[in-house]
Amino acid sequence: MVKRKSASSSEEGWNYEAKVAEIEGIIARIESGELELEAVFEQFASAVEYLRQCESFLQQRQQQVDLLIETLSDE
């Protein structure tokens, strides 16, 4: 049986597609050239954090898929 991690309060309502859209928005704002330098750094830091969250999400899902495939192979 696949064990699922219980969602922590920080993950509740978290959505991969929404984070990707936020990252794309940040990139667009940075590329527009209309932000002050300090805002660019703040936006960039936010984008990096969102990318880390997305990577962690994808790694967790890959582990789940691998486990499911392993379970199917054992049968």
- pLDDT value for 47: 98
- pLDDT value for 4: 44
Tell whether the model's pLDDT for residue 2 goes beyond 50.
no
Exposed, middle or buried by CB within 10 Å (0-12, 13-18, 19+), for 10? Answer: exposed
The per-residue pLDDT of the chain, averaged, comes to 87
Could you report the per-residue pLDDT of 32-67, keeping only the tens digit for each?
999 999 999 999 999 999 999 999 999 999 999 999
- Rounded to a whole number of angstroms, the CA Rg of the chain reads 17
Exposed, middle or buried by CB within 10 Å (0-12, 13-18, 19+), for 26? Answer: buried
- pLDDT value for 3: 44
pTM across the whole model:
0.74
